[in-house]
Chain A
Amino acid sequence: MIKIEKRNDVSQSIYFLTPILAIFLTLFGGGIIFYILGFNPIEALKFFFITPISDLYGLSELLVKATPLCLIAIGLSFCFKSNNWNIGAEGQLVFGGIVGGGVALLFYNHDGFYVLPIIILSGAIGGMLFAMIPAILKTYFNTNEILVSLMLVYVAKLLLDYLVVGPWSNPEGFNFPETRQFSESARMPILFDGLRIHTGIFITLITVFLSWLILYKTYLGFQIKVSGLSLKTAKYAGYKGKTMIIIVFMISGACAGLAGVGEITGPIGQLHRNISPDYGFTAIIVAFLGRLNPVGIIFASLIVALTYLGAETAQIFLQVPKYTGQVFQGMILFFLLGSDYLLFFKIKFLGLKKNEL
């Protein structure tokens, strides 16, 4: 007989162990899918999760992909902790990229140490302003932030498309939908020759540290957590709910904007249609997998970045579409949410009692 009992308090160790359980279940599920597709599951999983990071270049690529994911997820953790469902980080990323890219084009052929910081700052402000749209509509017009932030993703992507095809397209670019390559002064310095890993990783690490400070060492962080746990308590304590909603959206928008500007000044070096392989959506998974905890999110971003790399390798070696990565990402979140059941309930395996037979 199996008996299910409600736990009285949530165990901290299980809280951080279930994500690992979820990852193992995802590997298992992925193996089954590969088997159905007619591959040797062990071999396929090796291509997916080991091959991509078995050399220095692969490890650098892992960090290149984890950099924006971690940054966005950190921002989202502020929203999710306070029960604000910003799921339009992808749009904020794109808009940050547009603003930062516009400034970079403004400084075309311009040298000076101040160029890059200005671009980065404007990208962050762009993302922040874009995130304020759903926040303000939520606070003052009672509008559902999930739907608004999501609709804005499409708007931002279409705006980017318009700009790179039309007014911002490279005058010498034979009508390709892309802008000029940014000047050297507008690019994130590369850390090691021959690898793509760039200084953007420091922006991410600094942001992680600052968020940890804000969340765990300030009154604002305390307010955010309380509002997430119980809105009634927050109201009773007299927190300014509306201001807080706008602040958490601003933080997460700025982080997404930073990620966007980091991509275009880092690995990409110009604006074109596809500046992000859905980092903004995937970061939602990273935030949950990392338990909305800054350190947890660092690890989660590395794991989820690996699904991107794995999908690319699998595309080459197994001829499966790159969307396989999304299947794995979806599964991780399914298993993670499902295994949360263990947090709140104890499952006891009891022997059959005599009177039950």
Chain B
Amino acid sequence: MSFDLNFIGVLIGAIMASSVPLILAASGELITERSGVLNLGVEGMMIIGAISGFALMVVTDNLFFAVIGSMLSGLVISLIFGLLTQSLLTNHVATGLALTIFGIGMSAMIGKNFVGIPGKEFPLLFVNFKESIPFLGPIFFGHSIILYFAFGLPFLTNYFLKKTKTGLIIRAVGDSPTSASNQGINVTLVRYSCILYGGAMCGLAGAYLSLIYTPQWIENMTGGRGWIALALVVFATWSPIKVLIGALIFGGITILQLHMQAIGLRIPVQLLSALPYIMTIIVLVVISRDSRKIKLNTPTSLGQIFYKEK
């Protein structure tokens, strides 16, 4: 029995690991969207983070630089989005799509020389506890520092948005940019900062994939996770704690279908792989059906262009 219990612990640990990129990207995007900006470039920013993290790891042989660099590159590429949507007042949806297309192309271009290079072992914390404590060990210990950060992030985000003045300003800008502006808040500056923060988090999410989760560079390795992260924000009705729950559910589906593939059930592999995407649609339908519930936390000005006559 204790063996089975330990196996379940390992399974839960694996689910947690696979939900990390979703938590990071969705938490970042949540802040961006709370300020009223809809950035559909999550997938593009993640993949740029993935390649820059991996490339820096190979070039500098230093994981710290790699992680920081991935966040910086996510930030830099989100700056393009910021410049366009905030300073040149372009349509958020179209600009975000362009960012994703550009990011995927750019990452493949940079990544050409990094295909097939093996990754480096990322240090895991408390490995001895993981083995000595049954069941709880593999759940709580033996993870990378980024995982612990990711699991704390939704709580920090929640506190930040609800209890701090800056959080209040961000929500005000997202709900009513005009009145926020009349109160003397620099709407454009707030939105720029939120976009850059979202970019950095997406970059980190990508680096988690290429440095820790599957430590290597594969073209298109984000495989739609950026889009699922976007769906998660809607699923969570813009509430950070629910992002965590949603990410764990999707992580669970991913791990479950991998295990079902491994034990060779007579279900086509492709159907199992399609499961996370189909589930996303079903969950979105269930959540969105009640339009009052979804409007409760939706930033009122989400995706709208704000222009202040000077």
Residues of A within 8 A of B (CB): 4, 6, 33, 37, 85, 87, 137, 141-144, 146-148, 150-152, 154-155, 158-159, 161-162, 165-166, 281-282, 284-285, 288, 320-321, 323-331, 333-334, 337-338, 340-341, 344
Contact = CB atoms under 8 A, between A and B. Distances in A.
Contacts, number: 137
B84 A338 contact: yes
A4 B308 CA distance: 12
Contacts of A334: 80, 84, 95, 98, 102
Nearest to B43: A150
B106 interface: yes
Given A142-B294, A285-B101, A334-B95, A158 B219 contact: no
Given A152-B281, A329-B101, A320 B109 contact: yes
8 contacts: A37-B109, A137-B285, A152-B281, A158-B271, A159-B274, A162-B270, A328-B105, A334-B80
A159 B104 CA distance: 23
B93 A338 contact: no
B94 A288 contact: yes
Interface string B90-118: 11011101110111111111001000000
A323 B112 CA distance: 10
A340 B284 CA distance: 33
Contacts of B219: 321, 323
Nearest to B80: A334
Contact of A141 (B90, B271, B288): B288
Contacts of A329: 101-102, 105
B57 interface: no
B227 A327 contact: no
A141 B88 contact: no
A85 B309 CA distance: 29
A133 B83 CA distance: 35
Contacts of A87: 97
B37 interface: no
Contacts of A325: 105
Contacts of B271: 158, 162
B268 interface: yes
Given A327-B109, A330-B103, A330-B106, 9 more contacts: A151-B231, A158-B273, A158-B274, A321-B108, A324-B105, A326-B105, A337-B84, A337-B94, A338-B84
B185 to A, nearest CB: 22
Interface in B265-284: 268-271, 273-274, 277-278, 280-281, 284
B90 A337 contact: yes
A330 B288 contact: no
Interface in B213-237: 219, 224, 227, 230-231, 234
Most buried by A among B89, B270, B271, B291: B270
Closest A-B pairs by Cβ, 3 of them: A330-B102, A326-B105, A323-B108
B40 interface: yes
Nearest to A319: B112
Contact of B93 (A4, A146, A158, A340): A146
Interface residues of B, number: 48
Nearest to A83: B93
Contacts of B273: 158
Most buried by A among B83, B102, B271: B102
A165 B273 CA distance: 15
B289 interface: yes
Nearest to B291: A142
A356 B108 CA distance: 49
A341 B103 CA distance: 23
Contact of A154 (B95, B99, B277, B310): B277
A150 B219 CA distance: 19
B57 to A, nearest CB: 20
A227 to B, nearest CB: 16
A235 B232 CA distance: 31
Most buried by B among A147, A166, A324: A147
B234 A137 contact: no
Contacts of A159: 270, 274
Most buried by A among B90, B101, B285: B101
A6 B309 CA distance: 9
A70 B205 CA distance: 36
B101 A330 contact: yes
Contacts of B91: 337
B102 A85 contact: no
A326 B88 contact: no
Nearest to B102: A330
Contacts of A144: 231, 234, 284, 288
Contacts of B109: 33, 37, 320-321, 323-324, 327
B108 to A, nearest CB: 3
Contacts of A146: 40, 93
A323 B268 CA distance: 31
Interface string B169-186: 000000000000000000
Interface string B26-40: 000000000000001
Given A154-B274, A166-B268, A284 B281 contact: no
A144 B268 CA distance: 29
A341 B85 CA distance: 10
Contacts of A166: 268
Contacts of B280: 147, 151
A151 B227 contact: yes
Contacts of B97: 87, 281, 284, 333
B277 to A, nearest CB: 4
Contacts of A281: 97, 101
A331 B270 contact: no
Given A142-B294, A144-B288, A155-B278, A326 B104 contact: yes
Contacts of B107: 323
Contacts of B102: 326-327, 329-331, 333-334
